Amino acid sequence: MTVTHDDLMAFLRDGLHVDTSSIDTDTALFTSSLIDSFAMVELIVFLEKAGEIRMPPADVTLTNLDSVGAMLAYCATRAD
């Protein structure tokens, strides 16, 4: 299964209570403090469930998680 842009934005808005009105694909989420490290666990759980993937600890990096585009690209590489 694939994580979609709309699903991810809905989770950020509804699950993490982030104002998504100014977020685009390349907006830095963690490095800009829009999302904090406490939300990271919830985000990883969402990505794993929605994408039907496993995210090993070595993959929990800003490269993979700091933007919507990065998360979608990571999930696409992990999809079966």
pLDDT in tens, 23-68: 999 999 999 999 998 999 999 999 999 999 999 999 999 999 999 9
Domain count, the chain: 1
Q: In this model, does residue 1 exceed pLDDT 80?
A: no
Q: Give the type of residue at 12.
A: L
C-alpha 43 chain-centroid distance: 6
**CATH code of 14's domain:** 1.10.1200.10
Average pLDDT estimate for 1-22: 94
Domain range for 10: 5-78
What pLDDT is attached to residue 79? 80
What pLDDT is attached to residue 46? 97
CB 71 within 8 A of CB 49: no
DSSP assignment of 4-71, as one string? -HHHHHHIIIIIS----TT--TT--STTTTSS-HHHHHHHHHHHHHHHT----GGG-SHHHHSSHHHH
